[in-house]
Amino acid sequence: MKKKYDLLTLVQLAMLIAIQLVMKAIGLGSVPVGPLYMSFLTLPIAVGAILIGPAAGAVLGAVFGAVSFYDAITGGSVMTSALFQVSPVNTFILCVVTRVLMGLCTGLVFAAVKKLDKHHTWSYFVGSISAPLLNTLFFMGYIVLVFYNTDFVQGLVASKGASNPLMFVVLLVGVQGIIEAAACGVLGAVICKALSVVLRNQVRTIGA
């Protein structure tokens, strides 16, 4: 039973990775909005982190990060490409490490709030919306921490009229961040709640 359950988990993880790559390939994973991208790749990360666990969230976050770092190298992203010219190492941390942490923390957040949700309803929404929120927090936080004084970021600061780093983040993320968080929160909650029932039945079948 243990081996069959592990195989089922690996299949689920592989499917979510495939979904991430397909979303990226057809343009649903990253929608350009100015220098940033509105990314819905946090949705499969949230699903994996919630249904499989924090480790799966970290793996899926690494896939997201690898795709993002590829864009930085090839020029697919205006912002990360500019930052790559400043520091390839810090851009790798920005693109990959922050996304691994995001996936891991999403799973941990869900595990924590699930204990308080007796009917297992709102915890799916909290877990799902935490993915895009943490993605923005870690990604923009690292930009402010490491790249804020670079010419590229200071150009954005001037163009947005931001008076301080916090206002810069708010003005840059703007409506995009709200849409991204709302979409991932609602869709993630619906998908996770439905799949949790299906997966629970599959596990029972394996054990029978």
Sketch the domain layout of the chain as residue ranges.
2-207
Looking at residue 153, its pLDDT comes to 92
What does pTM read for this prediction? 0.85
How far apart CA 75 and CA 87 sit, in angstroms, is: 15
- List the CATH code of the domain at 2-207: 1.10.1760.20
The secondary structure of 21-80, three-state, reads HHHHHCCCCEEEECCEEEECCHHHHHHHHHHCCHHHHHHHHHHHHHHHHHHHHHCCCHHH
Looking at residue 74, its pLDDT comes to 92
Residues for the chain: how many in total?
208
Looking at residue 130, its pLDDT comes to 92
Looking at residue 90, its pLDDT comes to 97
Looking at residue 81, its pLDDT comes to 93
Give pLDDT tens digits along the chain (208 positions): 444 547 778 888 999 999 988 888 877 666 655 555 667 788 899 999 999 999 999 999 999 999 999 999 998 888 899 999 999 999 999 999 999 999 999 999 999 999 888 777 788 899 999 999 999 999 999 999 999 999 999 998 998 888 899 898 888 887 677 777 787 788 887 888 777 766 655 544 444 4
How far apart CA 11 and CA 145 sit, in angstroms, is: 38
Percent composition of the chain: helix, strand, coil (DSSP 3-state, to 5): 80, 5, 15
Looking at residue 199, its pLDDT comes to 61
Please, which residues have CB within 8 angstroms of residue 151's CB and are 6 or more apart in sequence?
none
Looking at residue 29, its pLDDT comes to 63
How far apart CA 94 and CA 71 sit, in angstroms, is: 12
Looking at residue 180, its pLDDT comes to 76
What is the three-class DSSP state of 108? helix
Looking at residue 17, its pLDDT comes to 93
